[in-house]
Amino acid sequence: MQPRKILVVDDSKLIHKMFEVLLRQYSLVHAYDGLEALENLGRHAEIDLILLDINMPRMSGLEFLNQVKANASFEAIPVVIISTEGKEEDTIRGLEAGAAAYIKKPFGNQELLEVIQRL
Amino acid sequence: MTSDTSSATSSSTARELERALERVRQLCGQLESERESAEIDLDGSHVQAIERDREELSSRLVEAEHQLGRLMNLYVATFQLHATLDPGEVQATIAEIAVDLLGAERFALLLRIEDAEGCEVALSKGLEHDVSGLYSTGVYNGGDALVDAALDDGVLRLGPADTSEVIAAVPLRVQEAIVGVLVVLKLFDHKAILRSGDRDLLDLLAAHAASALFAARVYANTDRKLRTLESLVQLVRGT
């Protein structure tokens, strides 16, 4: 089943704009840090995919991911980490925390679309 | 019917049958030969032509997707640069283009100081790891060959070179004047080199980054002066 509503969590307005253009076939919910993302997750029960940055103010992506995976209501939602942190240990850390995929910035549009379609 | 007549008739029938069989053999041979030639044609030239078409279409599709991605990056970058008149937000957008689209781990945005030598470091990231020391005081006074050349003639420089470790020195223009330079000092380890599509982004930054930043600064100054005047008018009216 295709994701219908995607939560985008990133402190970069540029990335939000890019997703608006690239993912126009999906309905997007926007958050600029982990705390705002948690609030939005509570408000939008139909979110079925999360695109998540790591380095953000207030609450980092990994903290947010831990909270999502610890919550029975949200734990099944697939999370794709999209980050400039490109070391192998960063990828392993993200996947071990429960991310379904890890994409490094700058990313190719096709790479992202393929991951979204796969999940 | 006598046995001789019967024998002659049988012999004649057998010959006819032999001729018919021979004709059938010839037709079978002919059909087999046509079938083989059809298979050779299908296995050979037609299939190869179809395969070539498929590969060409596939390669065109990949190229079109890359072009689309480049155009989308350019559109988004331009849109965001001119989406605000807040100098802080314009600077943040320049940083986001450098980091998220170019993959710059370490960079500095240098702007010429009015009525003075040198450039202010208006924006930077990762400079704490820069060993050159050229940007550490917040003012760049020259010293890197590629940066100095870009500031001098307004031509984009790509490095590193023998005399410079700079990855890219992007001259920033407002109208015809060179007002600064974006210096990319290091890319992320997972992005080894600048790709062909990145050149478009560097050109876009050269043309739009400084003008967006200057427009925002002019607006902010004008807005500040307007508020001061309004406060003075209110003060005068109140007294």
Closest alpha carbon within chain B to A104: B190
Out of B69, B75, B99, whose CB is closest to A84? Answer: B99
- Please give the pLDDT value at position B7: 61
Instruction: Report yes or no on A2 lying in a domain.
Output: no
| CA A90-A96-A97 angle, 5° bins | 90
**B3 pLDDT exceeds 60?**
no
Instruction: Report yes or no on A19 lying in a domain.
Output: yes
CA–CA dist B122, B108 (Å, integer)? 8
Decide: B63 and A110 in contact? Cβ < 8 Å.
no
**B21 pLDDT exceeds 60?**
yes
| pTM for the model | 0.79
**B1 pLDDT exceeds 50?**
no
Please indicate whether, in this complex, the C-beta atoms of A14 and B97 are within 8 angstroms of each other.
yes
Which residues constitute the domain of residue A63? 9-107
Instruction: Report yes or no on A116 lying in a domain.
Output: no
Band (B68; pLDDT cuts 50, 70, 90): confident
- Please give the pLDDT value at position A99: 96
CA–CA dist B173, A86 (Å, integer)? 33
Full strand arrangement of the beta sheet holding A5-9: A27-31, A5-9, A49-52, A79-83, A101-104
**pLDDT tens digits along B229-238:** 999 998 888 8
3 state SS of B140: strand
CA–CA dist A13, B89 (Å, integer)? 9
Out of B68, B80, B105, whose CB is closest to A14? Answer: B80
Band (B98; pLDDT cuts 50, 70, 90): very high
B159's tokens: 């490095």
Please indicate whether, in this complex, the C-beta atoms of A110 and B79 are within 8 angstroms of each other.
no
Band (B115; pLDDT cuts 50, 70, 90): confident
Decide: A112 and A103 in contact? Cβ < 8 Å.
yes
- Please give the pLDDT value at position B10: 66
Instruction: Report yes or no on A113 lying in a domain.
Output: no
CA–CA dist B213, B65 (Å, integer)? 31
Structural domains of chain B, with CATH: 82-226 (3.30.450.40)
d(CA A28, nearest CA chain B) in Å: 17
A14's tokens: 């540029």
* pLDDT < 70 stretches in chain A: 1-3
d(CA A10, nearest CA chain B) in Å: 11
Please list every residue in chain A whose beta carbon sits closer than 8 Å to the beta carbon of residue B188. Answer: 84, 86, 104
Split into its structural domains, chain A has a count of: 1
CA–CA dist B81, B75 (Å, integer)? 10
Mean pLDDT of chain B: 87
Within an 8 Å CB–CB cutoff, is residue A108 touching chain B?
yes
Instruction: Report yes or no on A118 lying in a domain.
Output: no
**pLDDT tens digits along B22-41:** 888 888 888 888 777 766 66
Instruction: Report yes or no on A26 lying in a domain.
Output: yes
**Contact residues, chain B to chain A, C-beta under 8 Å:** 65, 68-69, 72-73, 75-77, 79-80, 83, 89, 92-93, 96-97, 99-103, 105, 188-191
CA–CA dist B178, B158 (Å, integer)? 17
Decide: B134 and B140 in contact? Cβ < 8 Å.
yes
Please list every residue in chain B whose beta carbon sits closer than 8 Å to the beta carbon of residue A87. Answer: 189
d(CA B139, nearest CA chain A) in Å: 27
Please list every residue in chain A whose beta carbon sits closer than 8 Å to the beta carbon of residue B73. Answer: 18
**B43 pLDDT exceeds 80?**
no
